Each structure stands twice: as C-alpha cells, then as structure tokens.
C-alpha cells in the first residue's frame, strides 16, 4: 500500500505543476535514476517479471523515504510484522492479524489521544443522565401551553390581556426530546462505529479473524462467536451489551401521557373582583318585615345550588357562587374569599322514635311543619312533604325574626333532624322496608327506626345531629365551575369564625332542602349511603342559604375586593418513571460496555486507536514480500495473497 501511495504521488507530480509539486518533485527526482535505470535495463535486456517487480519496488521505496524525510512526514503508525513467517507458514495460511506497534501519531500525548477517542463515550453518558433528569424533574407533572407561549387571558371584566411571562408549548417538549434523542443517537454512532473497528483490531492482534467475521462486525455490529478464550469472551460481551441501545428510544418517548390541565398566571396590577359581605346589615329590617324577601332568598338559594353542584359533585367541599367571577376561566384562583362553613361532627339515628321522642317531635305534619315553614303556613306549604329525601332540623317554635341586627356568632349545637324516608301506598301498613313502595335509599342504617304518618303514607326517620355553622376564609380559592369558588381537602377553609347571618341561614334551610329534594338535580345520591347523603345535603343547603341571605342583607353594605389569578388551558405531562429508569438502564449498558472495553484495552500493546477510518491506510503491507526478507525463497519466487474459505492465504509461486 505504501508503494501504491508513492506511485500515486508520482502521477500527482506530473499533473500538478505548482510550488508544492516542485518541492515534491525535487525529492522524487533524486531517486528517479534508480527507477529509470531499472526500467531501461529491463527494456534492453528482457528479464523475468519478478526481477522487474523487485527493481521497481526498491526504486519506489527509496523515493518514498526521501519524500518523508523532506516533509518530515511520520513513519507508518503500524510497523512491519514483528513475527517472521517462513515458507511453511506462508503455505499454511491463517487468520488476519494486526501489527502491534502504537498508532499514536508523533507529537500527540497518550492522554490527549485517549480523550479524543473517548469523547463520544463521555458525551453519551452525560447526555443520557441529562435526559433522565429532564424527564423526571422538569417534564413530569409540569403543564405546558397548547397553542401560544404567551396565551391571552380573560379578566373578570371580560377584557383580554397577554401576560409578560411565557411557557413552553407541548410541541416544544416533544421536539426537544426528539432532538435530544437524535443527538444521543449520533453519540452512540460516534462511539459504536469506531468500537467495532477497535474490537476487530484487538481480535486481529491477539487471536485473528476470518474475513467474513470482520465484515459482520463492521457492517452489522454482530460480534464473532467466542471460542472459550477469556479475551475473546470479554470482547464479545463488550459488543453484545451495545445491541439493545438501537431499540430503546420508544421506551422513553412512550413514557409521557398528556392530560388536560391549566396554567395560572397573574392578572394585571389593579385587577380585582368584588364580593358581597354583611357588615352593617342595611337591609336587615326589610328581611324581617317582608316574607316576600325570604321566599325570594329561597328561590335564589335553589338557583345557586343548581349552579354550584350537580348530583355527582364530590363530597366534602364548601362552595360559593361569585357573580363577579363569571368571566374567569375554570381553575382561576381568587386570592382570598369568605365561604360558608358547616361541619357535622356526629350523626346518631333514633332507633325507637316512639319511645325516645315526644309526641310534638313525632307529629311532623302539624307541629314540625308549622315551625319550619315560612308564613303563611298551609297544608301544602310544608317543605318536608315535597318529596322523598326532604329533611329539616326541627325547630321548637314557629319561624319569627328579631328586628335587631343579630350578633356575630359561631353556632355549635345538637339538634333533632327528621327525614322523609319512604312512602307506603297503604298507610295502614307498618313502616318497615318490606312495605315500602318508594324509598329514598336502598340501604337503611340497621340502628335506625321508622315512624309512620297515621293519615298519609309517609315514613319518617329521626337523627340527632351535632354541627357547627359559621364562615371561614379560603386562600387562593379555585374556581371549580362556572362562577363558583370551592374549598376542599386540598385547600381547606381557614380562620373558622362566627357570622352575622349564620342563624338566619339555618332557619331558612328547611324551605331550601324541600325544594332541592323535589328538583333532585343538585342533591347527592342517597341510595348507597344514607349517612353521607344527610351530611352532604345539610352542608350544601347551608352554603346556598347563607349565600342567599348574605347577598340580600349585604346588598347595600360596602363590598370587599380581592385580587385573582387567571387560568389558561394547558397540557400536563405525566411521565411513567419506571419506563424512564428502564431506558436509562439500557443506555447504561453502553457505559458498562465501554468500561469493560477500556479494562481489556489496558492490557493490549496497541493503545486506543483515535481515527479508525484511516487505520487501514497506516498498515504496512510490504512484509508480504520484500527482497532479502525471505532468505529461504529462491530468486524470482512470487508470493501471492488469495482469499480462500474465509481466510487470506499467502502462496509461493
């Protein structure tokens, strides 16, 4: 190959008359007499082909050495074979072997050479760790915008604004991950491509390779089968560990699930919403004097309930409808707002009403209805008779109002509650579940008793309820539905305290519960759990009753204002952490493979090859035949290299 290089240089000199070629030509001409002498001698006296070849070889070799000396070119990185073959060895043939001298060019330190060779390996490991950390700590559970990096937000007054801060899009994240994986694939290719050559060189140095094995290693990354030799087995493991990395990208890209979400951004400075509050009770006198306003409050409360709740709304949440937030998106947050607070701490069913209760408490259609109904009372106005599921906290006196503005009170008490539980078509039958034709629940508490209406088919249940009623403050309160703020277990009410209209809200509750039960739209289901139905129904009815009374009585009182944050639609990334770790482990196989390769390489005479693409050009093939190197060969003998049965064989002719 060196001789071919020199011959090519001669052709280059003839075709390129420039200063560099002139300088090269000077060195070439110094050796040309030998070349032309050999040519003329053979032309005048024809000799054998082998003699002509030998003369030309010596002349070209001399020219090559002079050119290297003139331009201070390095010698062949790989020297001639250290092992000498006699004629018998050549005839037998064998595997391909690699020379054993260092491939480090002159002037390059071993450390620099190692860094150049290992940079793809180091870059791959670093990028793999970076992608893993990015997926776990940034992408996972983070929300990204859908269409704009700075989307328009809707303010409470209906206007639009564009926030100053921006956030990446969902498509940006998928693009970023794709780009990182593409770069990672380049790092893998930059490391594994040369690794296959280095693997082949080490085997050729120590053991030897068949030509087809070399082809499979370089072309398909398929390692040669080990032959029970520790070195070959170790190198085989090195290459096998790299095979899974070609198929692991879908594991990472498929680990992300996108769910509908939102981002909350600050509204412009000065953006507030107004909230009604009772501070002076300007309209309290109107409330006490006109039952029309009380009936109006009941209708208003029922409307608020239908806005805030549905039949399937989650349990345990306190809500309030804010008309001033009608233009805000769901999941926007209000900085602080007052919400009604109602908590049931105990619910105990009466197991034997006829024994445990008085006749006044048992007589629902007369005594109880008269005390809970907004005047004027009639036979059809009692809210407990509207439909199954109606309930009410029993009052001991008829509804009346004190004209004096009430005190700010946190109500905590234990009261008797009655529930319209079932209906019998034949009122003469006893109130037992087997006689029920229509019922509110499919499962009644075993410790609960029933009391029959003696003139109609109603069956009543009674329970002692211990509760606390007042108000609380919700900070960063989320808008859970249309114009409705909500406090729940994730953001509970704080600063529980008394309120001016808590008593009035409790007094109005029976009229609201009867209407809500008849509508059967915003009440919870009682079929599977009657206890939960009672507690949840009391909480909802108190919330809307308090809101209706507050909106009316506090209509002319100074309103409170609060700031808010605006929600914009987004998409939340939910990352399967197990898949990310699996992807990481499979990529770490390359790290393990590289470390194992370096351990094996440390025992080799040939160091890590920097540029494997040029290594083949550094090989010195002059050892195939050089005059005088084979004393046992006769003058004129030829050595031919042939490919037979997967081996490169040298034969003497």
Strand 411-423 and strand 391-393: the pairing is antiparallel
Strand 458-481 and strand 143-145: the pairing is unpaired
Percent of the chain topping pLDDT 90: 39
Alpha-carbon span 382 to 396, nearest angstrom: 15
Nearest to 549 by CA among 513, 512, 496: 512
* Residue 638: Cβ within 10 Å count: 13
pLDDT for 104 equals 44
Q: Higher pLDDT residue, 225 or 255?
A: 255
Q: Are 374 and 577 in contact (CB under 8 A)?
A: no
Helices (H) then strands (E): counts for the chain: 18, 17
Is the pLDDT at 40 greater than 60? The verdict is no
**Residue keyed to tokens 């009403």:** 353
Beta strands in 482-559 (DSSP E): 484-487, 494-497
Percent of the chain topping pLDDT 70: 70
Beta strands in 426-578 (DSSP E): 438-439, 451-452, 458-481, 484-487, 494-497, 560-575
**Residue keyed to tokens 């309290």:** 284
- pLDDT range class, residue 512, cuts 50, 70, 90: very high
Residue 462: in which H helix or E strand, if any?
A: strand 458-481
Question: Which of 214-228, 273-287, 318-332 has the weakest average pLDDT?
Answer: 214-228
**Helix, strand or coil for residue 529?**
coil
Alpha-carbon span 60 to 38, nearest angstrom: 11
Distances (CA, A) of 217 to 94, 99, 196, 388: 19, 19, 6, 81
- The number of residues making up the chain comes to 653
Is the pLDDT at 12 greater than 60? The verdict is no
Q: Residue 372, exposed/middle/buried by CB under 10 A (0-12, 13-18, 19+)?
A: buried
Distances (CA, A) of 176 to 144, 171, 182, 568, 611: 13, 8, 10, 23, 31
Q: What is the pTM of this model?
A: 0.68
Is the pLDDT at 33 greater than 80? The verdict is no
Is the pLDDT at 61 greater than 70? The verdict is no
- pLDDT range class, residue 224, cuts 50, 70, 90: low
Is the pLDDT at 88 greater than 50? The verdict is no
Helix ranges, 282-408 (H): 284-289, 291-308, 353-356, 359-362, 369-372
* Residue 566: Cβ within 10 Å count: 26
**Helix, strand or coil for residue 140?**
coil
pLDDT for 68 equals 54
Strand 458-481 and strand 333-349: the pairing is antiparallel
pLDDT for 212 equals 67
pLDDT for 238 equals 75
> Is the four-CA dihedral 490, 494, 496, 500 of positive or negative sign?
negative
Question: Which of 207-216, 283-292, 444-453, 481-490 has the weakest average pLDDT?
Answer: 207-216
pLDDT digits over 394-425, tens only?
988 888 888 788 889 999 999 999 999 999 98
Alpha-carbon span 215 to 206, nearest angstrom: 18
Radius of gyration of the chain (CA): 47
Is the pLDDT at 356 greater than 80? The verdict is yes
pLDDT digits over 591-636, tens only?
888 887 777 777 666 666 666 666 665 554 555 555 555 566 665 5
pLDDT for 644 equals 64
Alpha-carbon span 293 to 297, nearest angstrom: 6
The residues near 35 (Cβ < 8 Å, ≥ 6 apart) are 56, 59, 60, 63
Q: Higher pLDDT residue, 505 or 76?
A: 505
Is the pLDDT at 574 greater than 50? The verdict is yes
What mean pLDDT value characterizes the chain? 79
pLDDT for 639 equals 63
Alpha-carbon span 533 to 517, nearest angstrom: 11
Is the pLDDT at 82 greater than 50? The verdict is no
pLDDT for 153 equals 86
**Helix, strand or coil for residue 636?**
coil
pLDDT digits over 249-307, tens only?
999 999 999 999 998 888 888 889 999 999 888 899 888 888 889 999 999 999 999 99
The phi, psi pair for 497, rounded to 5°, reads: -155, 175
Q: Are 576 and 110 in contact (CB under 8 A)?
A: no
Please state the rounded mean pLDDT for residues 148-162. 88
- pLDDT range class, residue 97, cuts 50, 70, 90: very low
**Residue keyed to tokens 């509508």:** 519
Please state the rounded mean pLDDT for residues 244-248. 85
- pLDDT range class, residue 314, cuts 50, 70, 90: confident
Helix ranges, 241-333 (H): 249-253, 284-289, 291-308
pLDDT for 54 equals 55
* Residue 331: Cβ within 10 Å count: 18
Distances (CA, A) of 135 to 142, 575, 646: 10, 7, 48
pLDDT for 229 equals 64
């Amino acid at each position: 190959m060196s001789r071919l290089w020199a011959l090519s240089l001669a052709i280059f000199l003839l075709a390129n008359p420039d200063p560099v070629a002139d300088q090269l030509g000077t060195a070439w001409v110094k050796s040309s007499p030998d070349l032309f002498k050999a040519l003329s001698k053979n032309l005048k006296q024809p000799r054998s082909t082998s003699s002509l070849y030998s003369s030309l070889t010596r002349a070209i070799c001399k020219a090559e050495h002079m050119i290297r000396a003139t331009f201070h070119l390095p010698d062949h990185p790989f020297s001639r074979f250290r092992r000498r073959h006699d004629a018998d060895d050549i005839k037998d043939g064998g595997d391909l072997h690699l020379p054993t001298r260092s491939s480090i060019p002159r002037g390059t330190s071993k450390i620099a050479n190692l860094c150049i060779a290992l940079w793809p390996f180091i870059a791959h490991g670093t990028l793999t760790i970076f992608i893993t950390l990015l997926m776990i700590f940034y992408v996972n559970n983070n929300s990204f915008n859908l269409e704009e990096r700075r989307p328009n937000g809707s303010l409470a007054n209906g206007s639009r604004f564009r926030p100053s801060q921006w956030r990446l899009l969902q498509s940006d994240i998928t693009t970023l991950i794709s780009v990182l994986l593409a770069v990672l694939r380049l790092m893998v290719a930059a490391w594994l491509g040369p690794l296959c050559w280095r693997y082949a060189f080490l085997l050729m140095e120590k053991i030897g390779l068949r030509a087809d094995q070399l082809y499979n290693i370089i072309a398909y990354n398929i390692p040669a089968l080990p032959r029970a030799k520790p070195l070959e087995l170790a190198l085989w493991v090195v290459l096998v560990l790299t095979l899974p990395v070609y198929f692991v990208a879908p594991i990472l890209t498929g680990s992300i699930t996108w769910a509908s979400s939102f981002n909350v951004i600050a509204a412009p400075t000065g953006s507030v919403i107004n909230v009604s509050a009772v501070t002076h009770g300007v309209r309290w006198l109107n409330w006490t004097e006109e039952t029309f306003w009380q009936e109006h409050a009941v209708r208003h409360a029922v409307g608020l309930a239908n806005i805030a709740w549905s039949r399937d709304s989650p349990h345990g949440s306190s809500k309030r409808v804010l008309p001033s937030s009608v233009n805000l998106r769901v999941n926007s947050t209000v900085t602080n707002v007052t919400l009604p607070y109602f908590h049931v701490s105990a619910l105990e069913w009466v197991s034997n009403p006829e024994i445990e209760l008085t006749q006044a408490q048992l007589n629902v259609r007369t005594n109880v209805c008269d005390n809970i109904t907004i005047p004027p009372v009639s036979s059809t106005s009692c809210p407990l008779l509207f439909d199954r599921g109606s309930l009410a906290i029993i009052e001991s006196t008829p509804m009346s109002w004190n004209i004096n503005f009430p005190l700010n009170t946190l109500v905590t008490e234990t009261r008797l509650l009655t529930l319209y539980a079932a209906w019998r078509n034949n009122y003469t039958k006893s109130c037992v579940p087997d006689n029920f034709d229509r019922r509110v629940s499919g499962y009644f508490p075993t410790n609960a008793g029933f009391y029959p209406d003696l003139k109609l088919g109603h069956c009543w249940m009674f329970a002692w309820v211990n509760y606390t009623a007042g108000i609380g403050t919700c900070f960063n309160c989320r808008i859970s539905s249309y114009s409705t703020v909500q406090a729940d277990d994730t953001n509970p009410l704080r600063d529980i305290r008394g309120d001016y209209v808590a008593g009035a809200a409790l007094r109005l509750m029976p009229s609201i519960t009867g209407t809500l039960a008849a509508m059967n739209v915003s009440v919870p289901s009682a079929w599977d759990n009657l206890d939960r139905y009672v507690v949840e129904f009391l909480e909802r009815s108190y919330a809307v009753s308090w809101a209706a009374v507050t909106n009316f009585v506090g209509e002319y009182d100074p309103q409170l204002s609060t700031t808010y944050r605006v929600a914009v639609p987004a998409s939340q990334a939910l990352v399967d952490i197990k898949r990310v770790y699996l992807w990481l482990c499979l990529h770490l196989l390359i790290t393990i493979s590289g470390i194992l390769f370096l351990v094996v390489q440390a025992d080799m005479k040939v160091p890590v090859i920097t540029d494997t693409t040029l290594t083949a050009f550094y090989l010195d093939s002059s050892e195939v035949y050089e005059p005088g190197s084979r004393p046992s060969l006769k003058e004129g003998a030829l050595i031919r290299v042939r490919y037979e049965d997967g081996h490169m064989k040298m034969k003497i002719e």
